[in-house]
Structure 1
Amino acid sequence: MKKFLLLGFIAILGFGCSQGGWKVDDSGLTVFPEDPSDQAVQAIRLTPFGEEIIKVSATAADAFSNEESLVALPLEKTVDFDVTEDGDILILTTAKLTAKVSQTTGEVQFFDADGNMILQEKEKGGKTIKSIEVDGVKGYEVRQVWESHDDEGLYGLGQHQAHDFNYKGKNEELFQYNTKVSVPVIVSTRNYGILWDNYSLTRWGDPRPYGQLDQFKLFNNEGEEGSLTATYIDNKETGNVFTVRQENTIDYENLTTIENFPEGFDFTNARITWEGELQPEETGIHRFLMYYAGYTKIWIDGELMADRWRTAWNPSVAKFEVDMEAGKKYHVKLDWIPDGGESYIGLKALTPVDPAEQERISFWSEMGDQIDYYFMAGNSMDDVISRYRELTGKAQVMPKWAMGFWQSRERYKTQDELLDVLHEFREREIPLDNIVQDWSYWPVDQWGSHEFDKERFPDAKGMVDEVHENNARIMISVWPKFYHNTEHFKEFDKNGWMYRQAVEDSIKDWIYPGYVGSFYDAYAPGARELFWEQIKEELYTKGFDAWWLDATEPDILSNASMEYRKDLMNPTHLGPSTQYFNAFALMNAKGIYEGQRAEKNDERVFILTRSGFAGMQRFGTVTWSGDIGTVWEDLKAQIPAAINFSLSGMPYWTMDIGGFCVEKRYERAEEGSEDMKEWRELNTRWYQFGAFSPLFRVHGQYPYRELWNIAPKGHKAYESMLYYNKLRYRLMPYIYSLTGAVYHDNYTIMRGLVMDYTDDQNVYNIDDQFMFGGGLMACPVYEYEARSREVYFPENKGWYDFYTGEFVEGGQTKEVDAPYERMPMYAPAGAIITAGPEIQYTTEKKPELITVYVYTGDDGEFELYEDENTNYNYEEGKFSTIPFTYNNDNKTLTIGSRQGSFEGMLNERQFNVVFVAPDKSVGFNPDVARGQLVDYSGQAVEVVFE
């Protein structure tokens, strides 16, 4: 029931009149501000999408856009709200949220039910709308700014690789790229979130692009003004100088700008340095962005700011800040060793902004129809993510087999290679649920045909059947890419569903001798349907279980400039690529998910995708972090990248354990060498971390990544990796329950400490520890030969060493042991962790006996979730839950009555309840754990800790 107090109401039937006034209808409130921050703003619209979700739109046009969001689900029913007027302020109230809008400025403020302000837009509204036209289509460059609380942390924005964690006061450019996944969502420790509903190139923080070095006064090695000294050495062993140039920019970041390198220079064994001095014209924090491939070091005034490596064809970025004084000279040296062949390097900077402005919350986007954002609130960060999933779609319960171990390599070149690896896993009794067939299984000139090369894969269906006969599943790589000579390309092209620019420009890919092709337009509904039909005909009918959707940025031409990337995917079915640049992966996954679900509903869809966007979770997707490097630096970078991706509302994430792109020294490493020693330790540490990411998956280039190819049986690397593999499977009752909670409770598996310990501000910038569910704190080791690491134990909570049961008081930082074979892990007081039998694959045995570890010292709860493992019957209520509740005051664990049922459910089972206490240290080892054995048939049981 809507109740509108119409005091002072000015009826406005259209936008064609002068500003001032407001109107209200069944779905929301429209305000026509008299004096907004940007006079182009004609109207602001507030639409409740839930009791704690309000959409805010602002337009400079004479009507709001009626285009449906690609991200947010349609509003199926209106939400009850009231509108009242208090002087200049209009007040929209739902049952749990209040939004106040100034009739003068259009500034919006959000309050909780008790009247406490949660968030407010910048004074006068903080909106900027600038008319633009792209490809004959009119649109707007848009920006929205909000005030940020001094004491809050801000997280999300997807998955980035520059080690940023808490984005308060930071900058991030949001676009899709191999190793970079942009999701325009932030979540605050103040228990609110913002979904910025725009699909174009977007900037968080400072809306300016990074500028070239010529914004500084530059001085070369001779002290002459105007440039830095660039020394090009074409043989780093002899030091032979090919040429010395004076350069006022370092901008060799893409296929266009690398043409500016000296003609005839050979990068194979090269070394290039840029050296001189920078003199800023402003005082304050200067923010630098270094784009690098190869071995790269940079010093400012003798301080090493970054020391990085990436493979030549897949650059990454490093960020650093320098507090500079106007007029003072700062020595700079950039030392670059390209990693052979074509390579990329760049250095840019942002001049200072007012610190108060930098601390504000800001989204800027290149093109949209209007400003659209969703404000989401709750009582916790989990609540906010739940609101996000209510708005953009639930994430499914992943099939149980998907939560086991995945083995992959780039690539199994024949079906015999793949099957031999599978058989060796079974012979060695190394648990495995999934094996992966990567790209290039097709005839060399038939990319996009989805057909198998008969010489290498003579019986693809037989291969799939044999995988299934060995109790495993198989995923296959499917690209949105088609060579122009394939029948599949022609089917798309005749309907206008191929991006034509790459074909017209005769762009050849990297497969010798080079082939011309392009990507299909996933924004076209008919094209999505056709893509699935082609996959179904050639692959789905053979029994493949999962889809690996690679290069979905889309990566039509790697390392193309931003402008040419847009040209290569232009136009889309919906409009200019400028406007729809970031959402390709969302549309691509949508077609596969909807296509498979329309076939039959007894097998859950599983999609692995290299790119992602807001709303991806509703299409059965897992995103992985792309072609990262085999270096400790990249191992460390995955931790904050993964946590922020999860805090963006996306619950399923994985990475190439061990890194994808391999340093040449590891390719050449011999037994007994230092490089081999480091290779094994790097993979071991990465494996330990990977066992506690949502999806447990090994992948990479040569050297091969199967356990026995990394180290021989008996080696501590082999034994440690085997231990964590088996541990993952022992914890399957716990892990699969987390997966169930993702769907039923909108839960998040991989959790920044800020989610569970929001009141402890010490955790706001801890980016190298995380919770795996609520019961395990993982502390990865990411430094070579480290045998200890610093761990912070959140306050107001006791902690137990997972391996020994030793108790640690919270609220302190400790240097803890981290032997080669183990990653530090801790369970908080109140944790309840369930462990099942040792198994070789997830459904080998039903867990008739579950060991339940109860970590005393605080109240705790856990819900054991079970269903039919692979189908969608859980959506119809066919699942069961068993609640476990520990009351610390009376030292009692209550195993509650089972709720629900499903076919094949265990009606009777046993629980071995093991209590862990400060004076009773018990490490995790279900095989020897002596607890209280409880027979359980579905009725509540109490177990007292004595």
Structure 2
Amino acid sequence: MKKLFSLVVAVAAMLNVSAKTETKIEVKAGGYTCTATFLSPTIVRVTKTPDGKAIEGKSMVVTMQPQENVKVSRKEDGANLVLKSADLSVALEKATGRVTFSSEGETLLREKSFTLEERITGADKGSYIAGQVFTLDADEAIYGLGILQDGKMNRRGTHRYMIQGNTEDYQNVIQSVKGWALYWDNYSPTNFDDDENGMSFRSEVADGVDYYFMYGQTVDGCISEMRELSGQVPMFPLWTYGFWQSKERYKSLAELTGVVHKYREQGIPLDGIVQDWQYWGSHYLWNAMEFLGDGFQNAQAAIDDIHNHNAHLMITIWSSFGPQTKGYREMAAGNHLFDFSTWPQSGIESQWPPRMDYPSGVRCYDPFSAEARDIYWNNLKRLYDMGLDGWWMDSTEPDNFDFKDSDFDHPVDGGKATMRRLRNAYPLACVGGVYEHQRAVSDEKRVFIMTRSGYAGQQRYGSNVWSGDVGSSWEIFRAQIPAGLNFTLTGNPNYNTDIGGFFAGAYNKGWNDGSAVHNPLYRELYTRWMQYGMFCPVFRSHGTEVPREVYLYGKPGEPIYDAMVSTIRLRYRLLPYIYSTAWQVTSNAQSYMRPLVADFREDKRTWDMGYEFMFGKSILAAPVVHAQYTPEKSVSVDAMSGWDKKENKDNFDVANVDFSQPRSTTKYLPAGTRWYDFWTGKQYDGGQEVELKTTIDDIPMFVREGSIVPLGEEMQHTGEKKWDNLEIRVYPGADAAFTLYEDEGDNYNYEKGIYSTIDFKWNDRARRLTVETRKGEYPGMLTERRFTVKLPDGQEKTVAYEGKKVSVKF
């Protein structure tokens, strides 16, 4: 029998009102038990279940333990029970169980209605389809949900069936410009809708309504609350912040190492290279986690060679196994394999469409099983023991082709649940298994994972999520920016895209000498995408069809080549700023990529701006996102059709493209501060659009007044030079502070307090920069260094620093 309960109509019900603890209120109404419980003064859990039933099991996402002695007052206010902390008031309507959240008399969020519809058939019989509707203010902007490819910043008017995919990932986290955030704690496929009826979540499998309300007051505060609820962000190694080269795929170890050698010969900075799929051999050996393919013999020598060239190697691993692999056999013996169709479907790799008369037999594994996660790591450890530096975890959605609803019925973790119930948490379980196993082996090497899918809480597992196999077009390029910003707003700061787009599609056309790398349309798009990618936590070029190695795009003195190389060199100069920001991400719940609304909420123009953002606290990144030299080409491609490499017959003849000619672009500077052009030092008032002259090598960047930005020297890799001669740029107009963070770079000793910080403080009235006494220490720490302090007007002074307080006055 279906159980339906709507709060739209007030129901006169027999009530049994009680308060089981001083931090919890509860009402029984219409056959349902509704509760609100304070976990902290600003975090509240709300549940609604049929009488006599409860939310089963431990949350996969929530790691927070309720704080002790949370001070709240309880009162009965007419129709409501009310719990109030110093920051937040929660009113639970006695007749309906409807909840209203408020602060200092201002309503933050109101429930409108909920439904619990019992599932009476199928593998999930006895559970419920759970829905909750909320009422938002008419002009209230909301953000989050994850990686969406619609190019929008504000999530109002969004309708999504949320199930993890190749290019869109969902986090069930939303936050409002009013300073609240909400995490909907459910892992089944979920509909999110915002329209005239309200904002709603509706999930396919649940024991009841279960969500967490967080009042962070600001964007940063909401992110901090989400991380307190679901886990903090460990530090990546220093070398991960350098430049990464990748493509689909290097077909031999000689080709792989040759790319590293070429970067070193050309003097182009590089810290990482990626070996994508099929180093294991045939599709029947899919994800063998061994170097078995032709051209991949003597892998240890190649790994050592890459390390000897001061670079690092990340390698692809999947959540599936081919039938001839050790992993497959071990997983099958434990009944840990799913039977749905996944990538690759055919065992014949050279033909498209797939030859289904030769099925690959590849099957995904069940990461919800602890035993299966052990088997996975035991196979992966073969690569770990060879010295691999990072894991490219592909298809962690996972890929599920020729989908049948019965695929959702498959039991997971020995029958404790169905795939339907846990579907969206699949990447969380996959990534968490690798992180926890590697941490158990050693603390001497930080875990670095890049993965194609993510779920709420995954930030605690040392993982960076990229936006999947997106196509190459200006429209898709632009969409990656708000996608990454909204992903960041769910609590995970680590995001990147395939620079240049994965499927080159219509741009895969030769030019003059027949090489697609000389196609001016693609060269402009790739260059501008790289200039945006420089502001992502992981700076990585990747794709298929058109080669991506930078040295193929010209030579010194040519505009495209110079633009790409200068972008990479700038990234390395910014390393002290970026790594210090990484420490703030870990220690202070900050983010690398910050939507403008995070810092300039009072300026309503920033509420829906998706193409400009703050990079750290000081730098306004405003990359060029429209073609200036060539026509734009809109390309629609999905993850499957992109593999159908039909000959491109589109005519893109462009005559006389001259990338050396200047162009112009218009950028908006948020109100509430003054801004300095990063390149010229020119100062602008905020709250206006400014027109800039640009060339192909220009990246519009501004620094807000009252900022300190440290810059390092140019280098070929992150370990080439010590930070003993830093340029400290001070941007006057307001007092400023910056903390320079340093540690050993690639272990977890920082968790034990083994690191150092140096505080820089600018007194604007006195025009004095003070470098405070160094705090902390670590092995190999610099004891003597120079800081060259520069102002935008050209003034500069150099000071020797030996760890004791010094000042510089202008």
What is the TM-score normalised by the length of structure 2? 0.89
Pick from 697, 705, 708: which aligns with 1:832? 708
Query: Given the superposition, is the C-alpha separation of residues 793 and 460 from structure 1 closer, same or farther in structure 2, using an over 3 Å criterion?
Result: same
Q: 1:812: Cα distance to partner?
A: 0.8
Give the 3-state SS of the residue equivalent to 1:20 in structure 2.
coil
Q: Is the 8 A contact 2:340 2:407 kept in 1?
A: no
Q: Which residue does 1:148 correspond to in 2?
A: 136
Q: Is the 8 A contact 1:19 1:32 kept in 2?
A: no
Q: Is the 8 A contact 2:55 2:207 kept in 1?
A: yes
Cα displacement string for residues 615-652 of structure 1 (whole angstroms, at most 9, x for unaligned residues): 01000000001111111111111111111111111100
Determine if the alignment matches structure 1 residue 605 to structure 2 residue 447: yes
Partners of 2:66 and 2:24 in 1: CA distance: 18
Q: Is the 8 A contact 1:49 1:391 kept in 2?
A: no
Q: 1:28: Cα distance to partner?
A: 4.0
Query: Given the superposition, is the C-alpha separation of residues 912 and 458 from structure 1 closer, same or farther in structure 2, using an over 3 Å criterion?
Result: same
Q: Which residue does 2:463 correspond to in 1?
A: 621
Give the 3-state SS of the residue equivalent to 2:776 in structure 1.
coil
5 Å matches for 1:781-796?
781-785=624-628, 787-796=663-672
Partners of 2:344 and 2:246 in 1: CA distance: 33
Q: Which runs of 5+ in 1 are unaligned?
A: 1-17, 207-352, 923-929
Q: Which residue does 2:397 correspond to in 1?
A: 553
Give the 3-state SS of the residue equivalent to 1:465 in structure 2.
helix
Q: 1:880: Cα distance to partner?
A: 1.6
Give the 3-state SS of the residue equivalent to 1:177 in structure 2.
coil
Q: Which residue does 2:206 correspond to in 1?
A: 368
5 Å matches for 1:209-608?
355=196, 357=197, 360-444=198-282, 445-453=284-292, 455-502=294-341, 508=346, 511-512=349-350, 514-536=359-381, 538-557=382-401, 560-561=402-403, 563=405, 566=408, 574-608=416-450
Q: 1:752: Cα distance to partner?
A: 0.4
Q: Which residue does 1:166 correspond to in 2?
A: 154
Cα displacement string for residues 509-562 of structure 1 (whole angstroms, at most 9, x for unaligned residues): 6624541121000111111111011100x21111101001000110043xx347
Partners of 2:772 and 2:146 in 1: CA distance: 38
5 Å matches for 1:59-78?
59-75=49-65, 77-78=67-68
Q: Is the 8 A contact 2:611 2:625 kept in 1?
A: no
Query: Given the superposition, is the C-alpha separation of residues 629 and 509 from structure 1 closer, same or farther in structure 2, using an over 3 Å criterion?
Result: farther
Q: Which residue does 1:50 correspond to in 2?
A: 40
Q: Is the 8 A contact 2:129 2:206 kept in 1?
A: yes
Query: Given the superposition, is the C-alpha separation of residues 590 and 784 from structure 1 closer, same or farther in structure 2, using an over 3 Å criterion?
Result: same
Determine if the alignment matches structure 1 residue 641 to structure 2 residue 483: yes
Q: Is the 8 A contact 1:182 1:612 kept in 2?
A: yes
Give the 3-state SS of the residue equivalent to 1:162 in structure 2.
coil
591-600 or 713-722: which moved more? 713-722
131-140 or 567-576: which moved more? 567-576
Q: 1:848: Cα distance to partner?
A: 0.6
Query: Given the superposition, is the C-alpha separation of residues 107 and 844 from structure 1 closer, same or farther in structure 2, using an over 3 Å criterion?
Result: same
Partners of 2:347 and 2:479 in 1: CA distance: 29
Pick from 177, 185, 188: which aligns with 2:176? 188
Q: Which residue does 2:796 correspond to in 1?
A: 931
Query: Given the superposition, is the C-alpha separation of residues 719 and 199 from structure 1 closer, same or farther in structure 2, using an over 3 Å criterion?
Result: same
5 Å matches for 1:753-768?
753-768=596-611
Cα displacement string for residues 689-746 of structure 1 (whole angstroms, at most 9, x for unaligned residues): 1111111000111321111223334321110110010100011000000111111001
Q: Is the 8 A contact 2:556 2:562 kept in 1?
A: yes
Determine if the alignment matches structure 1 residue 942 to structure 2 residue 807: yes
Q: Which residue does 2:96 correspond to in 1?
A: 105
Q: Is the 8 A contact 2:205 2:421 kept in 1?
A: yes
Q: Is the 8 A contact 1:691 1:728 kept in 2?
A: yes
Query: Given the superposition, is the C-alpha separation of residues 457 and 569 from structure 1 closer, same or farther in structure 2, using an over 3 Å criterion?
Result: farther
Partners of 1:843 and 1:387 in 2: CA distance: 35
Q: Which residue does 2:735 correspond to in 1?
A: 859
Query: Given the superposition, is the C-alpha separation of residues 711 and 634 from structure 1 closer, same or farther in structure 2, using an over 3 Å criterion?
Result: farther
Q: Is the 8 A contact 1:395 1:617 kept in 2?
A: yes
Q: Is the 8 A contact 1:556 1:568 kept in 2?
A: no
Partners of 1:179 and 1:102 in 2: CA distance: 41
Q: In the alignment, residue 119 of structure 2 is paired with which amino acid? A: I
Q: Which residue does 2:7 correspond to in 1?
A: none
Q: Which residue does 2:354 correspond to in 1?
A: none
Q: Is the 8 A contact 1:833 1:853 kept in 2?
A: yes
Q: Which residue does 1:217 correspond to in 2?
A: none
Q: 1:805: Cα distance to partner?
A: 0.9
Give the 3-state SS of the residue equivalent to 1:785 in structure 2.
coil
Q: 1:19: Cα distance to partner?
A: 4.5
Give the 3-state SS of the residue equivalent to 2:101 in structure 1.
strand
Pick from 27, 35, 40: which aligns with 1:32? 27
Q: 1:571: Cα distance to partner?
A: 8.3
Give the 3-state SS of the residue equivalent to 1:365 in structure 2.
strand
Q: 1:361: Cα distance to partner?
A: 2.6
Q: Which residue does 1:179 correspond to in 2?
A: 167
Partners of 2:436 and 2:41 in 1: CA distance: 29
Give the 3-state SS of the residue equivalent to 2:240 in structure 1.
helix
Q: Which residue does 1:721 correspond to in 2?
A: 564
Query: Given the superposition, is the C-alpha separation of residues 160 and 775 from structure 1 closer, same or farther in structure 2, using an over 3 Å criterion?
Result: same
Q: 1:384: Cα distance to partner?
A: 1.0
Give the 3-state SS of the residue equivalent to 1:384 in structure 2.
helix
Q: In the alignment, residue 285 of structure 2 is paired with which amino acid? A: Q
Q: Which residue does 2:772 correspond to in 1?
A: 896
Determine if the alignment matches structure 1 residue 869 to structure 2 residue 745: yes
Give the 3-state SS of the residue equivalent to 1:195 in structure 2.
strand
Query: Given the superposition, is the C-alpha separation of residues 718 and 19 from structure 1 closer, same or farther in structure 2, using an over 3 Å criterion?
Result: farther
Q: 1:567: Cα distance to partner?
A: 5.9
Q: 1:25: Cα distance to partner?
A: 3.2
Aligned-residue Cα RMSD (Å) equals 2.2
Partners of 1:704 and 1:587 in 2: CA distance: 34
Partners of 1:119 and 1:642 in 2: CA distance: 26
Query: Given the superposition, is the C-alpha separation of residues 806 and 33 from structure 1 closer, same or farther in structure 2, using an over 3 Å criterion?
Result: same
Partners of 1:448 and 1:626 in 2: CA distance: 19
Percent sequence identity over aligned pairs: 37
Pick from 635, 650, 669: which aligns with 2:492? 650
Query: Given the superposition, is the C-alpha separation of residues 27 and 470 from structure 1 closer, same or farther in structure 2, using an over 3 Å criterion?
Result: farther
Query: Given the superposition, is the C-alpha separation of residues 104 and 81 from structure 1 closer, same or farther in structure 2, using an over 3 Å criterion?
Result: farther
Cα displacement string for residues 809-847 of structure 1 (whole angstroms, at most 9, x for unaligned residues): 111122322321112111111121100111111121111
Give the 3-state SS of the residue equivalent to 1:837 in structure 2.
coil
Q: 1:905: Cα distance to partner?
A: 1.5
Partners of 1:819 and 1:423 in 2: CA distance: 30
Partners of 1:898 and 1:67 in 2: CA distance: 47
Q: Which runs of 5+ in 2 are unaligned?
A: 1-12, 351-357, 630-662
Cα displacement string for residues 596-617 of structure 1 (whole angstroms, at most 9, x for unaligned residues): 0010111100110000000010
Q: Is the 8 A contact 2:119 2:126 kept in 1?
A: yes
414-423 or 563-572: which moved more? 563-572
Q: 1:564: Cα distance to partner?
A: 6.4
5 Å matches for 1:785-824?
785=628, 787-824=663-700
Determine if the alignment matches structure 1 residue 687 to structure 2 residue 530: yes
Q: Is the 8 A contact 1:68 1:74 kept in 2?
A: no
Q: Which residue does 1:22 correspond to in 2?
A: 17
Cα displacement string for residues 434-474 of structure 1 (whole angstroms, at most 9, x for unaligned residues): 11110100121311321212531111111111111111111
Q: Is the 8 A contact 1:409 1:705 kept in 2?
A: yes
Equivalenced residues, count: 754
Q: Is the 8 A contact 1:443 1:451 kept in 2?
A: no
Q: Which residue does 1:846 correspond to in 2?
A: 722
What is the TM-score normalised by the length of structure 1? 0.77
Determine if the alignment matches structure 1 residue 878 to structure 2 residue 791: no
Q: Which residue does 2:87 correspond to in 1?
A: 96
180-189 or 451-460: which moved more? 451-460
